Amino acid sequence: MDSTSMLYQDVESELLVTKEKIAERVRELGRQIARDYEGRDLVVVSILKGSVLFFSDLIREIDMPLTIDFMQASSYGNAAQSSGFVHIKKDLDRDIEGKDVLLVEDIVDSGRTLAYLKTMLKERGANSIRVATLLDKPEGRQVEMEADYVGFIIPNAFVVGYGLDYAEKYRNIPEIGILRPRVYQG
C-alpha cells in the first residue's frame, strides 16, 4: 500500500487482505469451480454492486464456457439491523430453469440477503444454486447460510475495498482493509 495515497486515508494501516492474497485465492477458487462444474450449464451471477470486482476477476479464472447475469438486492431495515425483507432492485435478464447457478457475493454477514435469494431462485426451477463469497463474517450470522466457496473468513469488523463500500465510497481500493471507526462515528 502507498501510505501517501488519499485512497487509503480512512482505512486502518494494517491491511486485512492484500492484492496478492486476493489474486492467489481468486485463482484457487476459479480452478475449484471449473472442476466442480465441468460439463454443466453454469450461470455466474454477480450480486451488485459489491461483488463486481471479485466477480470480474473470478470469471476470468473459471476455465470453461459459462454465461453471466446480474442481480441487485437491498434489504429493508435500519443500518443496525436488517429486517430480513429483501427488495429486488434489478432482476436477472435470463430464465434460469434447469441451469446451475453460482451467486457471487462480496460478503456474507447476517446471511439474510443470500438466504432469501437462494430460496427465491430455487423456486424458479434452477438445477442447483450455490454461493461464492469473497468474505465471510461467521460471527454476524442471524440465519443459517453457508457459502459453498469462501475467499477469506474475517472477524466481525466493518471492511471496505475491492468492491466493498461504506456509503458508496471506497469500492475502488484494490485491497481490503478495516474502515477507521472515526468515519462512521462522526
Residue 42's closest CA among 128, 117, 159? 128
Identify residues 85-114 at the interface with ligand IMP (CB under 6 A): 105-113
CA 88 to chain centre: 16
What's the closest the beta carbon of residue 93 comes to ligand IMP, in angstroms? 21
182 and 164 Cβ atoms separated by less than 8 Å: no
Give how many residues touch ligand IMP by CB under 6 A. Answer: 16
Whether 95 is catalytic is no
Q: Indicate which single residue of 29, 62, 71, 159 sits in contact with ligand IMP (rule: CB under 6 A).
A: 159
Using the rule CB under 6 A, is 22 a contact of ligand IMP?
no
Q: Least separation, in Å, of the C-beta of 82 and ligand IMP?
A: 5
- Name residues whose C-beta falls within 8 Å of residue 79's C-beta, 6 or more positions apart in sequence: none
Q: Which residues pair with 75 in a beta bridge?
A: 86
Other C-beta atoms lying within 10 Å of the C-beta of residue 147: 19
Grid coordinates given for 125: 426451477
CB of 35 to ligand IMP, least distance (A): 26
Q: How far is the CB of 130 from ligand IMP (least distance, A)?
A: 16
Q: Which is nearer to ligand IMP, 59 or 104 (CB)?
A: 104
Alpha-carbon span 177 to 165, nearest angstrom: 11
Q: How many CA atoms does the CB half-sphere of 15 hold within 13 Å?
A: 17
Site string (139-158) toward ligand IMP, x via CB under 6 A? -------------------x
- 109, 136, 148, 165: the catalytic one is 109
Instruction: Tell me which residue of 98, 105, 103, 109 sits closest to 158, measured CA to CA.
Output: 109
Tell me whether residue 37 or residue 47 sits nearer to ligand IMP (CB atom). 47
| Residues involved in catalysis | 109
**Where along the sequence are the contacts to ligand IMP (CB under 6 A)?**
50, 75, 82, 105-113, 158-160, 164
